[in-house]
Amino acid sequence: MAERYDALVVGAGFAGAVVAGELARRGGKKVLLLERRDHVGGNAYDRKDRFGVLIHQYGPHIFHTNDQRVFDYLSQYTAWNGYQHRVAANLPDEGGSPAQRMQYPVPFNLTSLEAAFGPEEGKRLGDKLIAAYGAEKKVTILELRQNSDPEIAALADYVYDHVFVRYTMKQWGQKPEDIDPNTTARVPIFLSRDDRYFQDKYQGLPTDGYTPIFEKILAHPGITVETSCDALKRLKLENGKVLLDGEVFDGPVIYTGQADELFSFRFGPLPYRTLDFEFETWVDRAMAQPLPQSCVAMSEGGDFYQSHGTVNYTVDRPYTRITEFKRMTLQELPGVTTIVKEFSKPYSAAPGEIPYYAIINPENNALYAQYRAEADRYPALHLLGRLAEYKYYNMDAIVSRALTLADKLLGE
């Protein structure tokens, strides 16, 4: 006879793994977790590439949070490397020759102002912004563009043109004013010298990577994980009941995949953006003769490709950003480094494409609400996670939501 489970979880990203772990550990439940990919970790999955460089297969992931519960929870499974994320905007230098480029911190801050306008003028403009908004304040680009002072308005236009409009066009195919304002608000103008990308109390990368966190959470006798398993081939939703392998499943079902797919796209597909990742490995010329296939030679004695963990190409280039993993993982590996370039495009559901970003707007939210209402007809079904909730959640928000759902399911 088939094994009986108390709970079914679909998806082994942070949402699914955390709920499964908590139901098993705190609740003593028997949990079946089905994951479509051939590994756990969802989009936070990392692994060593063939050169030994620890890479994030689905794009750079930097953990940051102010949520004590989330930090304490994850710290049971990992130590942190203390990395503080810093990002540089890289753009053509309008004052120099066409080949020259300049870099300054993003979020655009007092240091960026001085790099863009020169120390004196930059300082004067910075003082003016501080007088208008206050020191150490964060102002979104859309707010700054509302300012009627001609000098601040001109400055807002500069930042809009040099940091936001072309990056946002690449990432979303739309202008900043046409996308959800919360999206550009993630990277506000910061009236500070603090050049970190995030100001959260806790930030860093897990010392051994993200994947071991998932392996540890899921290594519990109460949890059965099946990878390379598309749950939708085994699930059926019928008359308010969830069926697994043809039998009514008697327990909570936590679904962390796409809401539209769960209901066979009956109201139409939810729009998403996807990414193409181009990985490149650079090897010190002196260390590798001949160069391994698919490697690019770096100058002799070179260990790194770029100055920052991430460099954003805010004006030109077809990709949005380049991330160099070693700068973030702090892995010590002389003479070799792997980078990734991100190219954004509309999600088309082609085989192998992954829906990375929900496109939040009133029309898409209304479409999502139809799927949500459908899900509400199944009392055992819980939609959880960045895909299932059609939201732009960071990892910490997902972990928090997963812990809260586990509390609820365990009656705590």
Which residue ranges make up the site for ligand FAD (CB under 6 A)? 10-16, 34-37, 42-44, 59-63, 230-232, 256-257, 275, 356, 385-387, 393-396, 398
CB of 224 to ligand FAD, least distance (A): 14
- Which one, 125 or 254, has the nearer CB to ligand FAD? 254
Q: Are strands 63-65 and 202-204 parallel, antiparallel or unpaired?
A: antiparallel
404 binds ligand UDP (CB under 6 A): no
What is the CB neighbour count within 10 angstroms for residue 64? 20
Q: Tell me, what amino acid is at 30?
A: K
Of 148, 154, 113, 146, the C-alpha closest to 130 is 113
109 binds ligand UDP (CB under 6 A): no
Per partner kind, with CB cut-offs from 5 to 8 A, the member of ligand FAD, ligand UDP, none near residue 232 is ligand FAD
168 binds ligand UDP (CB under 6 A): yes
Q: Are strands 87-92 and 310-313 parallel, antiparallel or unpaired?
A: parallel
From the list 3-11, 65-73, 160-168, 292-300, the region that binds ligand UDP by CB under 6 A is 160-168
From the list 17-25, 132-140, 151-159, 181-189, the region that binds ligand UDP by CB under 6 A is 181-189
**Interface pick for ligand UDP out of 5, 14, 45, 164 (rule CB under 6 A):** 164
From the list 147-155, 167-175, 242-250, 263-271, the region that binds ligand UDP by CB under 6 A is 167-175
Q: Are strands 87-92 and 336-346 parallel, antiparallel or unpaired?
A: unpaired
CB of 81 to ligand UDP, least distance (A): 19
Per partner kind, with CB cut-offs from 5 to 8 A, the member of ligand FAD, ligand UDP, none near residue 122 is none
Whether the ω angle into residue 107 lies within 30 degrees of 0, i.e. cis, is yes
CA distance 302 to 320: 25
**Per CB under 6 A, which of residues 233..292 are in contact with ligand UDP?**
none
312 binds ligand UDP (CB under 6 A): yes
CB of 178 to ligand UDP, least distance (A): 11
From the list 23-31, 48-56, 92-100, 180-188, the region that binds ligand UDP by CB under 6 A is 180-188
Backbone angles phi, psi at 275, to 5 degrees: -130, 145
CA distance 144 to 125: 13
**Interface pick for ligand UDP out of 73, 167, 305, 347 (rule CB under 6 A):** 167
Check residue 78 and give left, alpha or beta (phi > 0: left; psi -120 to 50: alpha).
beta
Contact between residue 26 and residue 18 where contact means Cβ atoms under 8 Å apart: no
CB of 144 to ligand UDP, least distance (A): 13
CB of 320 to ligand FAD, least distance (A): 10
- Which one, 183 or 199, has the nearer CB to ligand UDP? 183
Cα 310 to Cα 59, 61, 89, 196, 341: the distances in Å are 11, 11, 9, 11, 10
183 binds ligand UDP (CB under 6 A): yes
Cα 212 to Cα 41, 292, 337: the distances in Å are 9, 29, 22
The token pair that represents 320 in the structure block? 């949005």
CA distance 31 to 180: 37
Per partner kind, with CB cut-offs from 5 to 8 A, the member of ligand UDP, ligand FAD, none near residue 163 is ligand UDP
CB of 250 to ligand FAD, least distance (A): 20
